[in-house]
Structure 1
Amino acid sequence: MTQLVERFLRYVSIDTQSDEQQEQCPSTLGQYLLAQQLTQELMQLELHNVTLDDNGYVTAKLPSNVHYHVPPIGFIAHMDTAPDALGKNVKPQVIKNYQGGDIVLGSSNEVLSPVQYPDLNALHGHDLITTDGTTLLGADNKAGIAEIITAIAYLKENPQIPHGDICIAFTPDEEIGRGADLFDVPKFAAQWAYTVDGGPVGELEYENFNAATATIICHGVNVHPGTAKNKMINSMNIAAKFQRLMPEQETPECTDGYEGFYHLTAMKSSVARTELSYILRDFSQQGLQQRKAFMQQATEQLNQQLQQGHVELLVQDSYANMREMVEPHPHIIELAKHAMLDCGISPDIKPIRGGTDGARLSFMGLPCPNIFTGGYNFHGIHEFISINGMQQAVAVLVKLAENTALNAQVK
């Protein structure tokens, strides 16, 4: 398992933040650099059909080692990290045998505290990898990459473990919603797959938000402030009025479980024009439609109130709840549950309060639930991961490959 940690630390040293302002795929050079490195590693493992296409998608296959037919399955992780926190010059620190209390993050004056993050209370005795308090870590989703490659290497080193074809893929630009855009499902050739992109040990997810984006454009009028009386219309004031119309208790910081939300994610402002970017999330399609209708109602209400200036609304759907595409194949979930149980892990089946490549891929004909990585606090400077949890993720992937083969033999 030393190789598991070495791989992970090697991957997080490469800046792979995606950039939604760029139209090419991958959106950033760092992702392609990591893709090239991963391609070399997969070739060194002597996997079959190792490819890196022009769009930065890496695919490969570990061929079956049994004489009977086993449905080919896939393991998928994404290479990019989120734009939400700095992803360059990541300096991870390893905390051996954590015994509780605050963890000082480098020299940044930032602290990882169990008071703020009570998950730490269950990790006494674990070896942890944290940030230095200035960047994100990149466990989302480089931990998944390291775990998949380590599991594949373990299967190669232990040919007595039966398995069918194991297809693997590493995708770009998942964090900006494009990870499945150019994914070649027929070429991948798996009957179903699992993204390794979850959080704490035991997470198993096959439900996710229905998602949309909403852009509010507030139009004002700019005039020199010295002669602005009765002439200037400050679009930022209009934007503030719109935001006040949003339900205060239906935001990410006030919701959990199956509760949806409205989330103001960014603003571009000037006197003449202010743009508000929202994401809308709900686990039911009906709920998402109601949220979109509420945004439209708020837009019309504000326009009726304004004597000058106006507001416009642009809405675009992002992804849908994979549940309807996975539930018709219950054996996919059962295999993952039993793999965890065989590894002494209690499955924690819960909805994803977000999205993965698997959501889109499920609607493209590749049912694709999500499995844990052992990580916490993704997308921020307090991100960390349990090495023990990473090892358990590898064990589950190996057992999942084995159980799929054994299940096929019984049939």
Structure 2
Amino acid sequence: MQNIIDRFISYVTVDTESDPNSNTCPSTEKQWNLANQLVEELKQIGLDDVTIDENAYIMATLPSNVKHDVPTIGFIAHFDTSPDFSGANVKPQIVKNYDGGDIILNQEQNIVLSPSYFKDLLQYKGQTLITTDGTTLLGADDKAGITEIVSAMEYLIQHPEIKHGTIKIGFTPDEEIGRGAHLFDVEKFGADWAYTMDGSQIGELEYENFNAGYAKLTFSGKSVHPGYAKGKMINSILLANKFLSKLPKDEVPQKTTGYEGFFHVHHITGSIEESVVELIIRDHSMKKYLQRKKLIEKIAKKINKKYSKKFGGDILKYEIGNQYFNMREKIEPVMHIVDIAEQAMKDLGIKPLIKAIRGGTDGSQLSYKGLPCPNIFAGGHNFHGKYEYVPVESMQKATEVIVKIAELTATRYE
């Protein structure tokens, strides 16, 4: 277990925060630091065909050690961290034999990780936790996944008695800004299917995610001296407010769960003459997702119709687009790949938690690029913030799941 701790810490202490405002790939130069470190490590543990391309996508191969034909499987993780919270100068803290009480992350700033708020902590009583120092995120999303994949490959190399087919691994940049799969070369990767190691708590197994879209709404107005504005002024801020009031008030992130979709307004800028609203659209059901997009268009057209004469044209310009789709459509025809992962967990005494992702994953985009790719737990909790933590035992179990999947796949095709 110490090997996993040391490996994980060597990754999270390298700053790999991605940047949504950058047009390069990777989006930040500093991602190369860990990428190059990983390439050397993969060579050292004995993997074949270790490559890194001009965009920092890393691939490597563990050759088959059986004579019969086995489908080539892959394991994928991302090495960037979220720009939502600082990933610089990460100082991991190790809490051994967690007693179930409050964990002081930062005494000076009175930052406490408490089970009274984060109830999931209690299921890890007696285990070893790795936390932040309260000033940064940890980076378990997804450096825990990288740790587990590398550790599993190292274990398989050291234990040739465990039979397996050809295994491909891939590490990507910029997943946290939605671009992790954009330049992933599925044909070069050469796997029949793969698994992203990018879930949260132990047992998670996911093959459904949101259908995701966005809308950008630009409202125009007319500015007139407020003392003489009657019948003349059009305040774009109030128009934007009127639009938002037409959306279902309870279909927002803070009031939805499970398979419930939502509209989420995440940016507003405004003045009398121009206001811009940016929002995202989410739903697991394709039918409901399309209905949500149509609702936005319907409201926009009504506003334009109402103000066209007074304004002299469309007062609202809008852009509605797709971001990614529910991978269930691509996974269901090959459900045996989920069954194998589920059986691996059961064989290891892990209760599978099969549920839909209320978000997206590289696996979704990869599935639509021809690489079916369910998602498996990596073990971390409270991603993208100072309360992030990961139980070491969960990383150990995820490592064992990878090994067991490789073994079961080889056995299934004997």
Same fold (TM over 0.5): yes
The residue number in structure 2 matching 1:282 is: 283
- 1:26-37, aligned counterparts within 5 Å? 26-37=26-37
The residue number in structure 1 matching 2:117 is: 116
The residue number in structure 2 matching 1:252 is: 253
The residue number in structure 2 matching 1:146 is: 147
Q: What one-letter code is carried by the residue in structure 1 that aligns with 2:251?
A: E
2:81 corresponds to 1:76: no
Give the Cα separation in 1 of the matches to 2:99 and 2:393. 14
Q: What one-letter code is carried by the residue in structure 2 that aligns with 1:194?
A: Y
Check conservation: 1:108, 1:134, Cα contact below 8 A. Answer: no
Q: Secondary structure at the match of 1:74?
A: strand
The residue number in structure 1 matching 2:331 is: 326
2:225 corresponds to 1:220: no
| Farther off after superposition, 295-304 or 243-252 | 295-304
Offset at residue 11 of structure 1 (A) = 1.4
The residue number in structure 2 matching 1:391 is: 396
**1:207 and 1:109, CA in 2 relative to 1: closer, same or farther beyond 3 A?**
same
Check conservation: 1:108, 1:132, Cα contact below 8 A. Answer: no
**1:268 and 1:55, CA in 2 relative to 1: closer, same or farther beyond 3 A?**
farther
Q: Secondary structure at the match of 2:98?
A: coil
Check conservation: 1:322, 1:363, Cα contact below 8 A. Answer: yes
| Farther off after superposition, 375-384 or 190-199 | 375-384
The residue number in structure 1 matching 2:25 is: 25
Q: Secondary structure at the match of 2:346?
A: helix
Which deviations, in whole Å up to 9, do the C-alpha atoms of 1:82-129 show, x marking residues without a partner?
222222222222221112232222233222222222111212112111
Which deviations, in whole Å up to 9, do the C-alpha atoms of 1:178-224 show, x marking residues without a partner?
1111111111011110000001100001111111111122223567x
Q: What one-letter code is carried by the residue in structure 2 that aligns with 1:153?
A: E
* TM-score, scaled relative to structure 1: 0.94
RMSD: 2.0
Q: Which ranges in structure 2 are unaligned for 5 or more consecutive residues?
A: none
Offset at residue 242 of structure 1 (A) = 3.0
User: Aligned residues, how many?
Assistant: 408
Offset at residue 248 of structure 1 (A) = 2.3
Q: What one-letter code is carried by the residue in structure 1 that aligns with 2:34?
A: L
- 1:396-411, aligned counterparts within 5 Å? 396-409=401-414
| Farther off after superposition, 317-326 or 122-131 | 122-131
Offset at residue 233 of structure 1 (A) = 5.0
The residue number in structure 1 matching 2:194 is: 193
Q: What one-letter code is carried by the residue in structure 2 that aligns with 1:44?
A: Q
The residue number in structure 1 matching 2:87 is: 87
Offset at residue 229 of structure 1 (A) = 5.1
Q: What one-letter code is carried by the residue in structure 1 that aligns with 2:152?
A: A
Check conservation: 1:374, 1:386, Cα contact below 8 A. Answer: yes
Give the Cα separation in 1 of the matches to 2:369 and 2:44. 31
Q: Which ranges in structure 1 are unaligned for 5 or more consecutive residues?
A: none
**1:348 and 1:50, CA in 2 relative to 1: closer, same or farther beyond 3 A?**
same
Give the Cα separation in 1 of the matches to 2:96 and 2:277. 44
Q: What one-letter code is carried by the residue in structure 1 that aligns with 2:135?
A: T
| Farther off after superposition, 37-46 or 101-110 | 101-110
**1:206 and 1:19, CA in 2 relative to 1: closer, same or farther beyond 3 A?**
same
The residue number in structure 1 matching 2:185 is: 184
The residue number in structure 2 matching 1:205 is: 206
Give the Cα separation in 1 of the matches to 2:297 and 2:331. 32
| Farther off after superposition, 277-286 or 377-386 | 377-386
2:410 corresponds to 1:376: no
* TM-score, scaled relative to structure 2: 0.93
